[in-house]
Chain A
Amino acid sequence: MPKPANFDKLTPSQKLDARIEAWRDAEGIQFASKEVEKAYKERVQLLIDVVRLKKPARVPVSVSTGFIPFEYAGYTCKDAMYDYEKLDKSMMKFHADFLPDVAAPAALYGPGSAFELMDYKLYRWPGHGVPENTSYQCAEAEYMKPHEYEYLLRDPSDYFLRYYLPRIFGALESLSSLPPLTDLLELPFVGPTIMAFGRPDVQESLKKLMEAGKISLDWFPKCLEIDAKLKSELGLPAFQGAFSKAPMDCVGDTMRGTRAILLDKFRKPNEIIEASERFVPLMIDMGVRNSPWGGPPTVFFPLHKGADTFMSGNDFKKFYWPSLKATMLGLINEGLIPYMFVEGSYNQRLDIITDPDIPAGFCIWYFDQTDMKEVRKKLKGYACFGGNFPSSPLKTATVDEIKERTKKLIDDCAGDGGYFIGNGAVLDEASTENLHAFIDTAKEYGVYK
């Protein structure tokens, strides 16, 4: 189904309907067989049902997937980031053998060689600062200095170009010497402004950026191809359409860093709030722009700094929630469903996130460690929810324990629908038998009678 010509004039609800129909349509997917097509469409229907807070045929099973496919397929985490053939083989093998109801995106890992070329300092990745069989990790630091809030507020793109990027990419260090490109207003300003681009160090930076761009241009279609095969050969839909971030996380995760942003709460409270507000339109735009027509109408948010341990409920209401809520509403307005992945726990936030301004059936809450009985009490009939199956038993428990825990989670949560089951934290490793037991038990026990 093509995008309706009058899409922009539709209400948020009509926009969502149109997006959901396009997703259900599966136009353009060349299924390997009628059976695969049927399986794909059944899975999409399960997901649509739960998002719409209806009772699906059975509880859909999602595995929040980190580096587990590579360990499982006998490769390393490093392979996932550098070797597209191994990425392909691992993703296909993992999904074919376990058959969850949702496919993980292939583009979450690489391209490692582009990161190397750019001298990416913000992360350490397998073989590059952490062991080859360890996932990538953020190397936190104050990439944005405490006095720079005002520069960010004045012009975020300029701040990124001339301050932030030169710090997170060693290869782009020379960009710190550029003038602001907003100087390019009249003829006499052009020469002096573009002059910097003639300097050897800046040209070297741009060359590296171009080379890294080429690597990415080779890598990304390969990832899309894997995603397409997961649909057409295995019948597994994606459930994450686009990505976005909570505005305070934009500032806190990779710019100021955890320690600094938590201190800024005392030292620079207004600046945090203003900077978060500045990110709202940017994060709405990122979600809308990257939402594929015909794909799942969801925008995935990994949520970090608002977790229970990081602040009080009052501080959450003051610092974290207003800009996040504004971002969610901006996406909802475009017929998109914010898909909120709560890392850590939100036991103290459930009354806040069930905000009456956010319409029912317009978001997904996916939990890591939050108490699911409470979640169900607060969210049923209001928002689709899932998650919470812990990582530790998947690694260490017996198959029987896994079966019992899976059944108990379904008993606690499934109710009349609006629920999908999933593991809590992004999964990097698990015992094969246990992961099978989790997925298979959930599929069998999760059938609604």
Chain B
Amino acid sequence: MSKELIDAVIEMREEDAIKIAENLLNSGAEPLSLLDDCRTALGVIGDRFAAGECFVPELILAGEMLRQIGDMVKPRIASSGNAPEKKLGKIVMGTVEGDIHDIAKDIVTFMLEINGFDVMDLGVDVPAAKFVEAVKEFKPQVVGLSGFLTLAYDPMKNTVQALKDAGLRDSVKIMIGGGQMDDQIAAYAKADAYGKDAMAAVQLSKKWVGEQ
């Protein structure tokens, strides 16, 4: 564990974090330990976000730092032949049909991955049929529907209905989130819950897969 790396990530010192990671790798540190450090740092950042002490830019930058460090580490992990780590569960994420907003959805996907979930991100403007297909194939425990606009209300409802029509509704928990979403829309769409931000999505998912 490198306290130096963890601190640099937590304190949003991007250049330092990358340099420290490089030095660690060059001096023979275990590549996976760097990712563990990032995860530790991300845990702190996530808690601070939930507490209103840091904000969306910090989550985005943390994601950027992790991506860069991940790119450095990955080639070395592949060659060392480690077994893939155990995931908490599988989640299908996407922004519903007609809505092309991706920022919030990307942050949720990222925070879910950081917290140990295997996420299939379907992107934006995703038709209900594509969610159905993904649920059939990927067999997730959780489906996350993102939408920024009021015009996402009905596509959310239609997506839940499509899963029901395909006989898949009881196999998944469905959470919704985004700009104009709330508990009332979760009820309207017949989803299981509304999450107000990325950390809420993590909490809901953990609860649903029995991790909390």
Chain A residues within CB distance 8 Å of chain B: 66-67, 124, 129-131, 133-135, 137, 139-140, 258-259, 262-263, 265-267, 308-312, 315, 344, 348, 390-393, 395-397, 425, 427-429
Residues of A within 8 A of B151 (CB): 67, 133-135, 428-429
Complex formed: what's the CA distance from A308 to B99 in Å?
Answer: 23
Contact flag A130-B125 (CB < 8 Å), given A135-B151, A267-B14, A392-B188: yes
Which chain A residue shows the least CB distance to B186? A392
What range describes how many residues of B lie at the interface?
A: 20 to 34
Bound-state Cα–Cα, A267 to B187, Å? 41
Q: CB < 8 Å: which of A131, A265, A310, A391 contacts B150?
A: A391
Instruction: Find chain B residues with CB under 8 A from A259 CB.
Output: 60, 103
Q: Does B197 contact A (CB under 8 A)?
A: yes
Contact A428 B184 (CB under 8 A): no
A133-B98, A137-B149 known, 13 other contacts, Cβ within 8 Å:
A129-B100, A130-B98, A131-B97, A134-B151, A137-B101, A311-B57, A390-B180, A391-B150, A392-B181, A392-B182, A395-B188, A396-B184, A425-B180
CB of A429 within 8 A of CB of B153, answer yes
A395 to B99, CA, bound (A): 18
Q: A137-B149, A425-B180 are in contact. Are A396 and B185 (CB under 8 A)?
A: yes
A395 touches B153 (CB 8 A): yes
In the complex formed, the residue of B with least CB distance to A393 is: B184
**Distance in Å: Cβ of A115 to nearest Cβ of chain B:** 16
Query: Is B50 interfacial (CB 8 A cutoff)?
Result: no
A81 to B143, CA, bound (A): 34
Complex: how many Å from CA A308 to CA B197? 13
Partner of A266, one of B14, B154, B180, B185: B14
Task: Give Cα A428–Cα B12 distance, bound, in whole angstroms.
Answer: 39
Contact partner of A392 (CB less than 8 A), chosen from B52, B57, B154, B185, is B185
**Residue B129 at the A interface, CB < 8 A?**
no
Sample 5 A-B pairs with CB under 8 A, ordered by A number. Answer: A134-B99, A266-B14, A391-B150, A395-B150, A425-B179
Pair B187/A391 contact, Cβ less than 8 Å: no
Q: Are A263 and B60 in contact (CB under 8 A)?
A: yes
Per the bound structure, the CA–CA distance linking A265 and B64 in Å amounts to 13
A312 with B184: CB separation less than 8 A: no
Q: Which residues in A have their C-beta under 8 angstroms from that of B153?
A: 392, 395-396, 429
Give Cα A263–Cα B67 distance, bound, in whole angstroms.
Answer: 14
Within 8 A of A (CB), among B143-194: 149-151, 153-154, 179-182, 184-185, 187-188
Contact of B180 among A265, A309, A392 (CB under 8 A): A392
Q: Whole-angstrom distance between the alpha carbons of A67 and B14 in the complex?
A: 42
Is A263 a contact partner of B180 (Cβ separation < 8 A)? no
Closest to B148 in A: A137
Q: Is the CB of A262 within 8 A of B56?
A: yes
**CA A392 – CA B103 in complex, angstroms?**
21
Which residues does chain A contribute within 8 Å of B60, judged by CB atoms? 259, 262-263
Whether the Cβ atoms of A258 and B103 lie closer than 8 Å is yes
Q: Mark B88-109, 1 if CB is under 8 A from A, else 0.
A: 0000000001111111000000
Evaluate contact between B57 and A265: CB separation under 8 angstroms: yes
Known: A134-B151, A137-B101. A397 touches B184 (CB 8 A): yes
Report how far A124 CA is from B151 CA in the complex, Å.
15
B9 to chain A, nearest CB (A): 12
For residue B54, CB closer than 8 A to chain A, the reply is yes
Contacts of A429 in B (CB 8 A): 150-151, 153-154
In Å, the complex CA distance between A129 and B190 comes to: 28
Once the chains bind, are B100 and A310 in contact (CB under 8 Å)?
A: no
A2 → chain B closest CB, angstroms: 43
Which residue of chain B has its CB nearest to the CB of A424? B180
Q: Decide yes or no: A130 and B61 within 8 Å by CB, A311-B55, A344-B179, A429-B151 being known contacts.
A: no
Q: Which residues of B contact A266 (CB under 8 A)?
A: 12, 14, 57, 61
Minimal beta-carbon separation of B109 from chain A (angstroms)? 14
- Residues of the B chain whose Cβ atoms lie less than 8 Å from the Cβ of A134: 98-99, 149, 151
**What residues on A are CB-neighbors of B149 within 8 Å?**
134-135, 137, 428
Q: Is the CB of B100 within 8 A of A137?
A: yes
Residues of A within 8 Å of B184, CB to CB, are 392-393, 396-397
